[in-house]
Amino acid sequence: MNTAGKPVASHSGTSGSKPSDGSPATPPNGQLGLAPENGLGLAHDTLGLSPRGNHGLVRGLGCIADYNTFSDCMPDPNLAKAVAEALHGVGTDPDTTTITSADLATTSLNLNGKHIANLYGIQAFTKLTKLDLGSNDITDVSPLGTGSLSKLRKLWLDQNHITDLMPLGNLYPQGNSGPAARLPALASLDATGQSIVKPDLLADPTQSLTLGPAKATYLYDTYFAVPSTDSNYGGRVPIPPATSPLTNVTWISSIGSIFNPRNWPTGHPSITNTSPAAGAGTMVWAQRKPGTYTFGFSLLGDPGLPANSNGVAMNFSGSFTQKVYKYTITFDPQNGQPVWTEHVGNKGTRPSPDPTRPGYQFMGWWTAPTGGSLWDFNDDLGESRTLYGQWAKIPTVTFHPGNGDPDTSVTLPTVGSTTASVMPATPSKPHQAFAGWFTAPSGGTLWSTGTPVNTDLDLYARWVPIRHTVTIDQNGGHGAPTSLTVNEGQPIGTLTTSKEGHHLTGWTDTATGNPWNTMSDPVLAPMTIKAKWEADQYTVRFANPDSNTTPPADQSVPFGSGPTYQSAPTAPNYPNEEPPAFDGWYTSGNHRWRFGVDTIGHDQVADPHIMVLTAHWTHRVKISYDLGQAAGDLSITAQTIDKDTTLNAPTPGAWSHGTFNGWYTD
């Protein structure tokens, strides 16, 4: 809409004009201009309406300057916001901004196109001379007719949904300053392009529409088809008379005989009534077949009055649409958005586009809020009904990597989508192998990315230890296994192995030759470890227990070798015996040690690390032979023999004086 000449917020008395030359609007070609002599005046008691009285400028409205906020004063949030921003700039919060005395003294407001529906509160701006309320959603203009806007000269109400201008009071050349005048200074009123939609006749077959422009003569113009996208008067296109949709429409007046009941004739493009009307015109429709019927109207004031004359240049025009349907479908989207009703024939049409709801997927229109059945729009309705939008929460998949990284969540494109397109990169964890995503922290099932997802899903990374084979080279020892399987990052642990005459000094990594601690070093790959042995050191101790002399000194000898040769020690002195014969050095196991041949082994030692070699002596005794009386004739040499051995006694030679009878002890 062209806003040239429209008011802007102002605290001055400067006035604008619409149209730009300040003259009243000129009616479209083919319409009747109403001259002052047609008697446009309404006596101030004709309508049975009296002024609402001059409310207090501020306090009488329950709106206190410098105390209340814009929202306190104006219940329509769109009106409060539009006025606040017009006076204080875009972004002004009407809920927190206090309305001031200076605000209420403004002389001009442009509130065009602000989605305003309720004008209550505008009457507090008593200094207004220009007010643009065009292109809003206004149906009721009564707040403008309270009498408080006595200075208002120019008023734009175009492009709204107004059916009745009578609350504005008497609008005629000689009457707008009388007792019934509500806007006594008004010189220009633009109320063109109203867009009015009547309810379905199915619900109320005798409903009516009252057009109340104040005292005026009516022109019911040619049938007009008004596109749904353009309710401006200038956008209408005549319908050929032969196809008029108004054949069965009856027009009547609720207050006089000038609109006597009559059928709208098919063959005439218009009915023109130039006689003065006794009041507003009321149109009543009769029941008709389903369809949509659009009519144009233009109710004009006196087009000849100059803008500053004692009268009003007024153009009240627009279109009204009457819908007659067989059934209604009420659509409840169940997403926080308003419910709406559509009028249809036997079938309905699925609304397009589908409603939306953040985080949810629209599942279609159903016959019940929950449950019910999915409606097939190819089916006959059979009755008026309500259809409900049902929703399914779009699933969120949360991945729990279990490796110290944070959990991540992703919303799938739709209900029933798979996770193939949202799977994260394969996670990693030291010394662990990723085994897949599972449906539970433990147990559960391995998730397949091609599985449809209909509800929220949690997936848990499953980890298994990486295991390595450790080959054990005991290097001559025994007792440990030949190999082990070890979890990566863990030590091998205790290995029990032994080797005769040796002790374990550690293990080495055969690949590097470096020492390896089986209790602490972590295994990171397959490997071989080798035992390191050190020969045990043995003390060889020489013992000569039957002698009082000091035995030979101890010797330190490694396992697998032997002590150096030791000769016979000092022989002991055994009473009544001959000096003993040295028989050698013997182990505790009574093994005669062979120097240079024998080596120390576990069978030669009694103590774990001491081998005692004990000198063995052969006890010897001397055997003397007493020949008695033959001693002078014969002789036998005494014998020295090992003690406790058998004596092989000699036989003496022949004696002439006797026969040898044997040897006898004392």
Say whether pLDDT at 401 is over 70.
yes
Terminal alpha carbon distance of the chain: 166
How many CB atoms are located within 10 Å of the residue 189 CB? 27
Q: Which residue has the higher pLDDT, 281 or 130?
A: 130
Confidence of residue 234 (pLDDT cuts 50, 70, 90): very low
Q: Which residue has the higher pLDDT, 256 or 492?
A: 492
Q: Report the pLDDT value the prediction gives residue 630, as an integer from 0 to 100.
A: 84
Confidence of residue 365 (pLDDT cuts 50, 70, 90): very high
Confidence of residue 575 (pLDDT cuts 50, 70, 90): confident
Backbone angles phi, psi at 433, to 5 degrees: -105, 135
Return the SS3 of 621.
Answer: strand
**Among candidate residues 200, 295, 185, the one with its CA nearest the CA of residue 247:** 295
Q: How far is CA 374 from CA 370, 377, 387, 416, in A?
A: 11, 9, 9, 18
Return the SS3 of 144.
Answer: helix
Strand partners, 471: 483, 528
Q: pLDDT of 108-127, one tens digit each?
A: 999 999 999 999 999 999 99
Q: Report the pLDDT value the prediction gives residue 537, as an integer from 0 to 100.
A: 86
Report the alpha-carbon distance of residue 552 to residue 432 in Å, rounded: 65
Say whether pLDDT at 250 is over 60.
no
Give pTM, 2 decimals.
Answer: 0.43
Report the alpha-carbon distance of residue 185 to residue 365 in Å, rounded: 55
Least confident of 500-509, 541-550, 605-614, 637-646: 605-614
Report the alpha-carbon distance of residue 641 to residue 376 in Å, rounded: 133
Report the alpha-carbon distance of residue 25 to residue 313 in Å, rounded: 7
Report the alpha-carbon distance of residue 109 to residue 82 in Å, rounded: 10
Least confident of 314-323, 415-424, 506-515, 529-538: 314-323
Q: Report the pLDDT value the prediction gives residue 65, as an integer from 0 to 100.
A: 92
Report the alpha-carbon distance of residue 563 to residue 428 in Å, rounded: 62
Report the alpha-carbon distance of residue 487 to residue 468 in Å, rounded: 6
**Among candidate residues 272, 292, 296, the one with its CA nearest the CA of residue 224:** 296
Report the pLDDT averaged over residues 621-636.
84
Say whether pLDDT at 611 is over 70.
yes
**Among candidate residues 308, 264, 287, 303, the one with its CA nearest the CA of residue 176:** 308
Q: Report the pLDDT value the prediction gives residue 629, as an integer from 0 to 100.
A: 84
Q: Report the pLDDT value the prediction gives residue 203, as an integer from 0 to 100.
A: 61
Q: Report the pLDDT value the prediction gives residue 99, as an integer from 0 to 100.
A: 96
Overall size of the chain counted in residues:
666
Confidence of residue 222 (pLDDT cuts 50, 70, 90): very low
The mean pLDDT of the chain is 76
Report the alpha-carbon distance of residue 339 to residue 351 in Å, rounded: 13
Confidence of residue 572 (pLDDT cuts 50, 70, 90): confident
Q: pLDDT of 497-527, one tens digit each?
A: 999 888 999 999 999 999 999 999 999 999 9
Task: Report whether 327 contacts 201 (CB < 8 A).
Answer: no
Q: Which residue has the higher pLDDT, 308 or 563?
A: 563
Confidence of residue 301 (pLDDT cuts 50, 70, 90): low
Per-residue buried b or exposed e for 81-116, using 16+ beta carbons within 10 Å of the residue's own CB: bbbbbbbbeeebebeebebeeebbebbbbbbbebeb
Say whether pLDDT at 33 is over 70.
no
Q: Which residue has the higher pLDDT, 360 or 164?
A: 360
Backbone angles phi, psi at 255, to 5 degrees: -130, 0
Order of strands across the sheet that contains 327-332? 340-344, 327-332, 385-393, 360-366
Report the pLDDT averaged over residues 218-223.
31
Task: Report whether 110 contacts 134 (CB < 8 A).
Answer: no
Confidence of residue 138 (pLDDT cuts 50, 70, 90): very high
Report the alpha-carbon distance of residue 191 to residue 155 in Å, rounded: 9
Say whether pLDDT at 209 is over 70.
no
Say whether pLDDT at 210 is over 70.
no
Confidence of residue 144 (pLDDT cuts 50, 70, 90): very high
Q: Report the pLDDT value the prediction gives residue 463, as an integer from 0 to 100.
A: 97
Q: Report the pLDDT value the prediction gives residue 297, as an integer from 0 to 100.
A: 62
DSSP strand pairing (291-300 vs 457-465): unpaired
Q: Domains in the chain, start-ordered, CATH in brackets?
A: 197-292 (no CATH), 327-393 (2.60.40.4270), 396-465 (2.60.40.4270), 467-535 (2.60.40.4270)
Report the alpha-carbon distance of residue 273 to residue 221 in Å, rounded: 10
List CB contacts of 217: < 8 A, sequence separation 6 or more. 32, 34, 38, 40, 273, 274, 275, 276, 277
Task: Report whether 306 contacts 73 (CB < 8 A).
Answer: no
Q: Which residue has the higher pLDDT, 580 or 21?
A: 580
Q: How far is CA 545 from CA 175, 549, 550, 609, in A?
A: 159, 9, 10, 21
DSSP strand pairing (483-487 vs 502-509): unpaired
Return the SS3 of 103.
Answer: helix
Q: Report the pLDDT value the prediction gives residue 649, as an integer from 0 to 100.
A: 86
Q: Report the pLDDT value the prediction gives residue 632, as an integer from 0 to 100.
A: 80
List CB contacts of 498: < 8 A, sequence separation 6 or more. 477, 478, 479, 504
